[in-house]
Structure formats: C-alpha cells, structure tokens
Amino acid sequence: MPQGPPPGGLSPGGPVPGGPGPGGRPPMMIEEKMAIISAMVVCMTLCVVSAVRLLRRRPAPSPSAAAPDAIRFKVDYKTVTVPLADIRYIESMSEYVKIFLEGREEPIVVLYSLKRLEQELPSSRFIRIHRSYIVALDRVRASSATTAVLDGDVILPVGASYRAAFRSYFPAR
C-alpha cells in the first residue's frame, strides 16, 4: 500500500506525485505551516491549562492525615519507631537527646538536636518549656511559675523565655 508524501511535499526519491513539475502539486506554503504550528500551540496551551485546573481541584491533605502518630530514629544501627503517645518528655544533651517513654525505665538516646525535634513534633501535642526540655502536653499534671510537674512526679524547670507560651496552655494553678 503506497504511503503519502512526507510533510512539506518533499520526497527523498524525487518529486512527489502530484507535486511541482509534470503531474505534481506545489509544496506546503509558509502560511499553511504557520497555521499548523499555531494550532499545535493552542492545543498544548489547553492541555497545560486543563492540567492546572485538575491539580487545583485536588483536595488538600487534612491536618489529621498530615500529622504523624509516630517518629523514627536511628538507634544503634537500627531504625526505631516511637509512637508520639508514648513520649513523656525529651531532654537535650548537647547534640543528643534523651527520649523518656511511658513504660520504659531507661530513655532512648538519639543523635538529634532538640531544635530539630521541636520542629518535627506536632505543636498541638508538645511544647518546649526550657532550652533543654520538650514535654508532652497531656503529661503535665501541675505547674507553677517556674516548674512543670509531669505524671510520675517528674519536676522540670520552665525557662524564662518559654514561660509565656507555657502559661497559655497551663495558667498558674
């Protein structure tokens, strides 16, 4: 079955049947090529606009789906998953942190900065109360102007620069 001529009316083997010359047709004119290119540009633009509209219709992830319920750490060449509900408080030790968990005598010691951990933990569940401590809000049993008492009778200091934020959660009792 014979194939049609390539675009532009040119053929590697010579004149196209119906092309210029004896029994041929004229090559595609510049105006025709520009019209085809313009139509292609319009098609591509419509595709991009449709894709953008589709992405805008996609619902944003809900805050509950985005908030993690656990955090992972590297401990002794293993990855340990710590449920956020088990964290009582976190203490800084230079570039390490001690994570005190419910039901565990010994804390987990992790090479992690307290500042980085503060950014990764949900602020709805944890608060920094001192340059060396982050506490789980649901573990605070009592407070004074300068201390926070956690369940298990753990008493932690509340730093001067963190008092206002702490007081907004726990007014003086």
Q: One digit per residue, pLDDT tens: the chain, 173 residues?
A: 555 555 555 555 555 555 555 555 566 688 888 888 888 888 888 877 777 777 777 665 555 555 679 999 888 889 999 999 999 999 999 889 999 999 888 999 999 999 999 999 999 999 999 999 999 999 999 988 899 999 888 999 999 999 998 888 877 65
| Predicted pLDDT of residue 173 | 54
**Are 157 and 145 contacting, i.e. CB atoms less than 8 angstroms apart?**
no
Q: Which two tokens stand for residue 43?
A: 């098609």
Pairing of strands 154-157, 126-130: unpaired
- The token pair that represents 157 in the structure block: 């200091």
d(C-alpha 112, C-alpha 91), whole Å? 11
Could you tell me which of 72, 69, 139, 132 has the C-alpha nearest to residue 102?
139
Residue 64, token pair as written in the block: 């509950």
> Cα 143 to the chain's mean position, in Å?
35
Tokens describing residue 27: 């090559």
* pLDDT at residue 98, as a whole number: 96
The Cα 138–Cα 116 span in angstroms is 21
Residue 54's pLDDT is: 73
CATH of domain 69-169: 2.40.50.1020
Largest CA distance in the chain: 105
What confidence score (pLDDT) does residue 87 get?
95
pLDDT confidence of residue 53 = 77
Three-class SS state of 152: coil
